[in-house]
Amino acid sequence: MNVFAYYNYRKYLQDYYEYRKSVQRYFSYRAFAKRAGYTSSGFYLDLVKGRKSLTPQMVPKFIAALGLSEKEGRYFRLMVDFTHAEKPESKQIIFDQMSALLPRTTKALSRQQQEYYKEWYDVAVREALSVLNISDNYQDLALFLNPRISVPQAKQSIALLFNLGLIEKVDGFWRSVNKSIASGREIPALFVHDFQKNMIDLGKAAIDHYSTERRNVSCTTMSVSPMGLERIIHKIDMFRKEVVDIVRSDDKESMVCELNIQFFPLSKEKELALSEAKPFPEIDETSKGGSDEE
């Protein structure tokens, strides 16, 4: 489990438990509690569900039980503070401290995020440098992207990426300093909404521009319970992390692609009567489907 891939310690603990359970059948909340030196076997689940929070006194015990290194432990401690912080200013300060601890293979943006995500093509240009040999041939870079950009835009984008420390010259060609960039699940809400909207618009255009062999666009409309909603969001998070792992280990890249994941309400939420409400509603995954359109 890569602790540096997370910004919310509750999500990390949830995935850590599921991973350990998958590789060690007899791993349990009680077993972890014993390792961490506390008595309540339900405390771990309370943390994951947000019913309780890790205290400063408990953090060192969890670091030890999780088997984290000294650097990973410092990151985990900051991640706890980041999860508990309520003000955007506080989150940003902690996020900057977390970014400084990330391995070189992953670069986390901080105050420069707003500038980096201002234009959709700045992100695409950075990825294109893994495919093309670009020195001063900005026209090749401009024509490579789809939709294409202008030569001045390509040149300006290279200058921005260099000033942000995201690219460097290697053997005469521009290359990314880091394999991937992380912004975290909470951070986009502060900085990159406009970027996400632009990428969604490009996704709409892709339906007309690319055949089904070159794209995957589908829609599934469904009705779910609160528990089902939580499980689906978790599955999407896990899938996204798996895709990032593939990208980090990939080589011989030949194109730049965009993955947009959309899952959102299409209605208000029905308020259940007390007699209907269940604390942990179950989902029958075999009998309940949905409307699925490609």
- Mind listing the pLDDT tens digit for each residue in 27-56? 899 999 999 999 888 999 999 999 999 999
Q: How confident is the model at residue 293 (pLDDT cuts 50, 70, 90)?
A: low
Q: Are residues 76 and 129 in the same domain?
A: no
180-182/106-108 β-pairing: parallel
Note whether 135 and 174 are within 8 A (CB): yes
Q: How confident is the model at residue 194 (pLDDT cuts 50, 70, 90)?
A: confident
Looking at residues 129-144, what average pLDDT do you find?
93
Looking at residues 205-225, what average pLDDT do you find?
86
Q: Are residues 98 and 125 in the same domain?
A: no
User: Percent of the chain beyond pLDDT 70?
Assistant: 83
User: pTM of the prediction?
Assistant: 0.52
Q: What is the pLDDT of residue 186?
A: 47
Rounded Cα distance between 68 and 160, Å, is: 36
Instruction: Name the domain boundary from 102, 120, 147.
Output: 102
In a domain, 203, yes or no: yes
2: left (phi over 0), alpha (psi -120 to 50) or beta: beta
* pLDDT of 273 strictly over 60: no
Q: Are residues 93 and 215 in the same domain?
A: no
Q: Are residues 134 and 216 in the same domain?
A: yes
* pLDDT of 248 strictly over 60: yes
* pLDDT of 291 strictly over 70: no
Q: Are residues 182 and 65 in the same domain?
A: no
Q: Are residues 160 and 93 in the same domain?
A: no
pLDDT tens-digit map of 60-92: 999 999 999 999 999 999 999 999 998 878 887
Domain that holds residue 49: 3-102
Looking at residues 164-180, what average pLDDT do you find?
84
Q: Looking at the 3D structure of the chain, how many domains does it have?
A: 2
Which residues lie below 8 Å from residue 172, measured CB to CB, with a gap of 6+?
A: 135
In a domain, 279, yes or no: no
In a domain, 289, yes or no: no
Q: What is the pLDDT of residue 286?
A: 35
Q: Are residues 221 and 247 in the same domain?
A: yes
Which residues lie below 8 Å from residue 149, measured CB to CB, with a gap of 6+?
A: 121, 142, 157
In a domain, 277, yes or no: no
Rounded Cα distance between 163 and 158, Å, is: 9
Q: Are residues 227 and 129 in the same domain?
A: yes
Q: Are residues 8 and 134 in the same domain?
A: no
In a domain, 197, yes or no: yes
Q: Are residues 158 and 125 in the same domain?
A: yes
Q: How confident is the model at residue 150 (pLDDT cuts 50, 70, 90)?
A: very high
* pLDDT of 108 strictly over 70: no
Instruction: Name the domain boundary from 47, 80, 102.
Output: 102
Q: Are residues 227 and 137 in the same domain?
A: yes
In a domain, 267, yes or no: no
Q: What is the pLDDT of residue 107?
A: 59
42-51, 90-99, 177-186: range with lowest mean pLDDT: 177-186
Closest CA to 129 of 150, 145, 151, 111: 145
Q: How confident is the model at residue 284 (pLDDT cuts 50, 70, 90)?
A: very low
In a domain, 287, yes or no: no
Q: Are residues 115 and 258 in the same domain?
A: yes
Average model confidence (pLDDT) across the chain: 82
In a domain, 156, yes or no: yes
